Amino acid sequence: MKDVWSVSATSRSLRAFGEELAGLQAAQTGGSFTALPEADLLIRNSPEAFLLGVLFTQGISAERAWAGPYLLEQRLGHLDLRRLAVEEDAVAAAVAGPPALHRFVHTVPQWITSAARRLVSEYGGSAAEVWRPGSHVLDVTRRLLEFDGIGEKKAAMAVEILMRHFGVQLEGAECGSVAYDVHVRRVFLRTGMVDRDTPQAVREAARRACPESPGTLDLAAWLVGRDWCRPRAPLCDSCRLGGVCPRLTDRNAEGVGVRASQSSGRNSSPDSSLG
């Protein structure tokens, strides 16, 4: 039977890590999304580039995804929304490369042109209007979900980055959530915070652990999953949660349910930023 104390302690430790990260982000004047300072600067200064970066965050490393808007701008010579909305062939060629900016060379260009059209027609050509200060978290989430290429996972991630990294003042932090990301799922499963690999179970666990702002756990869980709680050969002894985690390392996020561990012992048996 699962050790309830261990689960509670792990939840508290994960929450503490999330709050620490939020504090660090709030104190940052810059912040790093990629290995390219110019790409980071563009993401910070251009709401449109940020939204395009959200579109890129699928199926590739987070660092590569967030560099996508900058590299796209370099190839096109602009990120003019009105041109992106109509110059479909140019956008497709820029994404395809070589080298390709994304593995989904046919889908991502369609998302980019569709997003540009929506921003021009519904938001006056300003992505910042999607998350204008004072909006409710649920309204921002709904607006993001209207864009092709953005599902619940990306929307949850984007909302948390906007609030915690960029300081956008949104109402209803208690309605935020964690992204149903493979790293987050694996951490919630292995810590015993959930027994079922479902979006509802993960989100309910986040609300229990941090009811006033469940999204606080998002980046913390993602980093733990990527850096320590790996699918194979997890680095439990060096993990931020290693001292309190029950280490249910036979659990993995498979997408179709996970075999629950019957062990509450510390097993030693037996990938990327925000996407």
Torsion of CA 10, 63, 25, 177, to 10 degrees: -50
| CATH topology classification for 1-28+159-275 | Endonuclease Iii, domain 2 (1.10.1670)
Domain boundaries, the chain: 1-28+159-275, 37-131
pLDDT of residue 31: 58
pLDDT of residue 268: 24
pLDDT of residue 26: 55
Half-sphere exposure of 105 (CA within 13 A, CB side): 13
Residues 6+ away with beta carbon under 8 Å from 223: 17, 21, 183, 240
Reduce the DSSP state of residue 274 to 3 states and report it. Answer: coil
Residues 6+ away with beta carbon under 8 Å from 179: 152, 153, 154, 156, 157, 160, 218, 222
pLDDT of residue 269: 24
Torsion of CA 152, 141, 63, 96, to 10 degrees: 80
Contact present, 273 and 165 (Cβ < 8 Å) = no
Query: Can you give the pLDDT of all 275 residues of the chain as single tens digits?
Result: 445 556 789 999 999 999 888 777 555 544 578 889 999 999 999 999 999 999 999 999 989 999 999 999 999 999 999 999 999 999 999 999 999 999 999 999 999 999 999 999 999 999 999 999 999 999 999 999 999 999 998 999 999 999 988 889 999 999 999 989 899 999 999 999 999 999 999 999 999 999 999 999 998 999 999 999 999 999 999 999 999 999 999 998 864 333 332 222 222 222 233 33
pLDDT of residue 192: 94
pLDDT of residue 7: 72
Task: Quote the tokens at residue 146.
Answer: 């209207």
Closest C-alpha among 73, 79, 71 to residue 100: 71
Alpha carbons 149 and 261: distance in angstroms, whole number: 35
Q: Which residue has the tokens 């992204």?
A: 179
| Confidence (pTM) | 0.80
